[in-house]
Structure 1
């Protein structure tokens, strides 16, 4: 039996027999085959994901440091971002316009599972993501990694079995997605929560998919650690190695958690609304206007650097690398610099979501942390609790994944994250519930159109 056939057990979960004895699937030889497949696929998918992250990181360093130096230009020259970011827009625009798959899912739609990336779409997804993440757009690598990991996993099995059913292909893709983001979000468990919550899986189906997915993620995490040690590039994991300890939450901080949650929800809705407007403007002339969008992102970074003396990289990129430094050096940022950082990063985030390709997670975390640090200059809120509240509230508002938001914030802050988890939970719940309440219900015609498209 080909290993891909093991995945077909998931398709039978909804059958009467599965409802009578769902554990029968866990005891079957087919499920054992699925676990073996997860272990086999996890290693190469994780290695390719590591290569992707290493490439984008090296590209950032080469374009923004090595290249200007080689050209006799000071790497700290304020105007330099005006060169690579519009170039990224041109590459992304061409990929969206001419390559299959339109460069992947638009981040303006939020974090969701967009189905299995077909083999023909993989080059376009990779090119658009490398240009976006590597050349300065304010998007993260997590969404392209999920798509590429799932697509490569599907491709590996599809090459052996061209008549692979849709249900089987979807499960195979999930294994690859788990492996691809195994350590990027701080822990394999965080990636698992994100994928399961975004897919909306529950009950027996969630358990059947989660176990092989976790196995793939566990193998992937080992590959990330091993390659990080061999190459010296690290594991690209989002975490702060050493931050000062904090005390248990206070009553004033609980009030701040509610307040920030109430503010984060409309802010996140505004960001998404504006991003959708930008996308509607750019998409009809994507090759012409995506470079213009890149110029706007770079101009915002230049404005921030010129006004504050801080690096333009605080505004550019996803914030994955800059976020730990922002938290560690929060005392070095005056309130005015923080407010300008929030404004410039937020607007660059809007333009990038509507024009480029990537994920929405890390910029939301960075903006939330900056908001928390800025509010810590007011009475009743210390910096690290403010960071926890801000990250949780803005991540929940943008991703609309409350469990993932709590776990992501807690793991990012290490031991402090565990101590401050009550604050994080309150901020996440308030932001998530208010976001859902303020989100307009979909029009019946739009819902019907979407259902017809899926069929």
Structure 2
């Protein structure tokens, strides 16, 4: 029997299909746009503060603290105690505060399926700050999406506690739009990410899209203005001063195929290992999370000892260090880049399983390092190799092809337009290959059973 709530939802869906633009003509929708704009201002300012806090935290514990203790530079062993402490504190936060510290990043980038409640937000914030600030190989995007959506919904429920579930969902999505767009530096890129990840489509897409775009657009202006007002750079994903690249040729097309397949293999391995490790961490969280932190510190130390390059190449999300990797690609040998992919890849696996954050920026960094390493072979400029590596590894981890292409090309400014066809080829090849590598196990056919006639006698077996 259908409940009254289900009947009301069916009626609303039918009305939306009959007149997709009907809600846009209502007074309530105009008020929703005003609320979205206000939320965009507040949440973008919050996102700015969150990212600046993470940056200051990282600098304080990895630069200021060792200098304050009398070291001339950060000791190579320095990440060991910090990541062990990070593991203990994150484990305690996840275990004892509501909300599980946010979703587990080994499961991908979740943008739907429930918004964080007000009582869950502190745990998500604390777990993210500890993970990101103390060196875990994890990105800030997932916590920002959860915090943006959760804060928007919490504030809206205070203003309109009687709002229906659909309106609340639109407000939560607008908050997530504003927060993620502030990080990515582009309202359109944030919109693509959230739409593709949530699977929105049809008439509902337009209803959610306008408030979200308005919130993210207004928020991006505030985000940029805050950087100018405070004198602290808000950061940009666009990497300046890269050498121009030539138009794609047949050799580069061949490299796109090869990089797509290689990224599918690497991304599938990272994803499977992280998912396989996650239950073991969850069973003994207070022991395993610090241990995963020590593993991350260990591979960072091994990388420094083997190459002489800084710890930050392996630690952290890679968001701040990706421009330096590309601008100074000539300082890295093919061997150093290969070791970087291996060490940061291991750190990525264990941090996905144990810490809290998002999967995007480490995938961008590892993909760029792998693409630059391949560019030491003939026929591939390093900018083109980095772009294809970034797009391919992101799609291997997220399964969002349009977002992966945009992320990899918008990062490169003017060069991104030139290399976009090759990035598209690498992303498509990787996406198809990874999908085949991750095919679900076939469901066994039901065992034929006896068929009973109306009189109660068995007359044979059921056809399959």
Q: TM-score range by the shorter chain?
A: over 0.9
Q: What pairs up with 1:299-318 in 2 under 5 angstroms?
A: 299-318=298-317
TM-score by length of 1: 0.93
Deviations 1:278-327 (A, max 9, x none): 21111111122211111110111111011111001100000001101000
Q: What pairs up with 1:78-157 in 2 under 5 angstroms?
A: 78-114=76-112, 115-157=114-156
Q: In the alignment, which residue of structure 1 is the partner of 2:40?
A: 42
- Report how far residue 163 of structure 1 moved: 4.7
- Report how far residue 171 of structure 1 moved: 1.4
- Residue among 50, 64, 85 paired with 1:52: 50
Q: In the alignment, which residue of structure 2 is the partner of 1:344?
A: 343
- Report how far residue 152 of structure 1 moved: 0.3
Structure 1, 29-38 or 320-329: larger mean CA deviation: 29-38
Q: In the alignment, which residue of structure 2 is the partner of 1:65?
A: 63
Mapped to 1, the partners of 2:281 and 2:443 lie a distance apart of 27
Q: In the alignment, which residue of structure 1 is the partner of 2:454?
A: none
Q: What pairs up with 1:124-203 in 2 under 5 angstroms?
A: 124-203=123-202
- Report how far residue 165 of structure 1 moved: 3.9
Q: In the alignment, which residue of structure 2 is the partner of 1:366?
A: 365
Unaligned segments of structure 1, at least 5 residues = 1-9, 446-455
Mapped to 1, the partners of 2:182 and 2:19 lie a distance apart of 34
Contact between 1:103 and 1:357, CA under 8 Å: does it hold in 2? yes
Pair 1:161–1:16, CA change in 2 (3 A): closer
Q: In the alignment, which residue of structure 1 is the partner of 2:231?
A: 232
Q: What pairs up with 1:259-270 in 2 under 5 angstroms?
A: 259-270=258-269
- Report how far residue 440 of structure 1 moved: 2.7
Structure 1, 317-326 or 65-74: larger mean CA deviation: 65-74
Task: Classify the secondary structure of the residue corresponding to 2:181.
Answer: coil
Task: Classify the secondary structure of the residue corresponding to 2:73.
Answer: coil
Q: In the alignment, which residue of structure 1 is the partner of 2:286?
A: 287
Structure 1, 361-370 or 174-183: larger mean CA deviation: 174-183
Task: Classify the secondary structure of the residue corresponding to 2:159.
Answer: coil
Contact between 1:108 and 1:353, CA under 8 Å: does it hold in 2? yes
Matched, 1:256 2:234: no
Mapped to 1, the partners of 2:134 and 2:185 lie a distance apart of 24
Contact between 2:103 and 2:110, CA under 8 Å: does it hold in 1? no
Deviations 1:262-283 (A, max 9, x none): 1111211110110012211111
Q: In the alignment, which residue of structure 2 is the partner of 1:26?
A: 24
Q: In the alignment, which residue of structure 2 is the partner of 1:452?
A: none
Mapped to 2, the partners of 1:65 and 1:139 lie a distance apart of 20
Pair 1:13–1:363, CA change in 2 (3 A): farther
Deviations 1:349-377 (A, max 9, x none): 00000000000000000011001100001
Contact between 2:66 and 2:74, CA under 8 Å: does it hold in 1? no
- Report how far residue 443 of structure 1 moved: 7.4
Pair 1:82–1:158, CA change in 2 (3 A): same
TM-score by length of 2: 0.91
Query: What number of residue pairs does the alignment pair up?
Result: 436
Mapped to 1, the partners of 2:12 and 2:132 lie a distance apart of 40
Contact between 1:42 and 1:219, CA under 8 Å: does it hold in 2? yes
Pair 1:30–1:311, CA change in 2 (3 A): same
Matched, 1:438 2:437: yes
Mapped to 1, the partners of 2:178 and 2:443 lie a distance apart of 37
Mapped to 2, the partners of 1:233 and 1:397 lie a distance apart of 34
- Report how far residue 64 of structure 1 moved: 0.2
Mapped to 1, the partners of 2:421 and 2:62 lie a distance apart of 40
Unaligned segments of structure 2, at least 5 residues = 1-7, 445-464
Task: Classify the secondary structure of the residue corresponding to 1:247.
Answer: coil
Contact between 2:111 and 2:194, CA under 8 Å: does it hold in 1? yes
- Report how far residue 169 of structure 1 moved: 2.2
Deviations 1:53-107 (A, max 9, x none): 0100000000000011111123331111112111111111011100000100000
- Report how far residue 40 of structure 1 moved: 1.2
Contact between 1:107 and 1:357, CA under 8 Å: does it hold in 2? yes
Contact between 1:118 and 1:151, CA under 8 Å: does it hold in 2? yes
Q: CA RMSD in A?
A: 1.7
Structure 1, 90-99 or 111-120: larger mean CA deviation: 111-120
Task: Classify the secondary structure of the residue corresponding to 1:133.
Answer: helix
Deviations 1:18-75 (A, max 9, x none): 2222122222222212111111111111111111101000000000000111111233
